[in-house]
Amino acid sequence: MSALAPAKINLVLEVLGKRGDGYHDIYSIIQTVSLWDSLSFELADEILFQCSEPSLQNRDNLVIQAAELLRKSYDGNKGALIELKKRIPWSAGLGGGSSDAAVTLLALNKLWDLQLPVSELSTVAAEIGSDIPFFLYQGTALVEGRGEKVTRVSPLSPCWFVLCIPPVPCPAQKTREMYSKLGKSNYTDGRVVKNVLENLSRDGNLSNAPLYNVFDVVAVDAYPGLEEYRRLFIEAGAQDIHLTGSGPGLFALAPNGNSAAEWSRNLRKNGLQTHVVSTFESQVV
């Protein structure tokens, strides 16, 4: 059994406030894109894991955590050999690890014949990480709460994005650090998300929609040198540039595939890692 685990971008990411449990309430429109990791699964007596990136082949990997939690919760007898080929840059805000974990839950649900509905898998996913429930659904979705509430929405018309992965240092526990930099002045009321949802419901087009990421404002302090790479992105031809999730990856919506390819070429002339992607969702086969 094999599957593709796609990366994601937050088209809009608002934070409504801080919760009593220490998490933040988010209000976000998330989209999976055509940059993916590949996973394969075979039945085995125990859970075995192999990864093409040696630094990620350890028991902390979300793939292992997902497999072990699912087996502990529903079937303690079966195992699997899981092979992961990484392509999504990690620690860039693209959700690669969370996507790998979600696909693992979906695949093992089939391989072990558990027949669990996605809603029940989502409960397991939320125990592991806030981004994982979204990847059980993929496509275009509204995500609320701390990430556990996912609602599929009107899909985007096919469109192109350019991703740029700046070589900047990341703080330890990057996502937690980024949230810690937010204050009351950064909290919003969900208005940007609602405006984009209205655009999508009319024609699925993002061209006139205001994209937004709450972390754009605090990223300068978190990622030294990021503004220089944002400037290079603008010089490459893009205008409306935002972080991918909590960063430090950057993305821009391109008017067409040719423009996306041109922006990418211009960025690569400066030695930057880029990816030209489009809207995408996968299936476990």
Query: Which residues of the chain are in CATH 3.30.70.890 domains?
Result: 160-278
Query: Which residues of the chain are in CATH 3.30.230.10 domains?
Result: 2-152
pLDDT at 284: 63
Task: Name the CATH code of domain 2-152 (choices 3.10.20.30, 3.30.230.10, 3.40.50.880, 3.30.450.20).
Answer: 3.30.230.10
Cα separation values, 64 from 6, 49, 67, 72, 208, Å: 18, 7, 5, 12, 41
What HEC string does the chain produce?
A: CEEEEEEEEEEEEEEEEECCCCCEEEEEEEEEEEEEEEEEEEEECCEEEEECCHHHCCCCCHHHHHHHHHHHHHCCCCEEEEEEECCCCCCCCCCHHHHHHHHHHHHHHHHCCCCCCHHHHHHHHHHHCCCHHHHHHCCEEEEEECCCEEEECCCCCCCEEEEEECCCCCCCCHHHHHHHCCCHHHCCCCHHHHHHHHHHHHHCCCCCCCCEEHHHCCHHHHCCCHHHHHHHHHHCCCCCEEECCCCCCEEEEECCHHHHHHHHHHHHCCCCEEEEEEECCCCCC
* Domain range 160-278, CATH architecture: 2-Layer Sandwich (3.30)
pLDDT at 205: 85
Q: Which of the following is catalytic: 37, 86, 100, 131?
A: 131
pLDDT in tens, the chain (285 residues): 999 999 999 999 999 999 999 899 999 999 999 999 999 999 999 999 999 999 999 989 999 999 999 999 997 789 999 999 999 999 999 999 999 999 999 999 999 999 999 999 999 999 999 999 999 999 999 999 999 999 999 888 899 999 999 999 998 889 999 999 999 999 999 999 999 999 898 888 887 788 999 999 999 999 999 999 999 999 999 999 999 999 999 999 999 999 999 999 999 999 999 999 999 877 665
pLDDT at 77: 86
Active site residue 131: yes
Active site residue 18: no
Q: Which of the following is catalytic: 8, 78, 86, 174?
A: 8
For CA atoms 112, 113, 114, 116, give the dihedral sign: positive
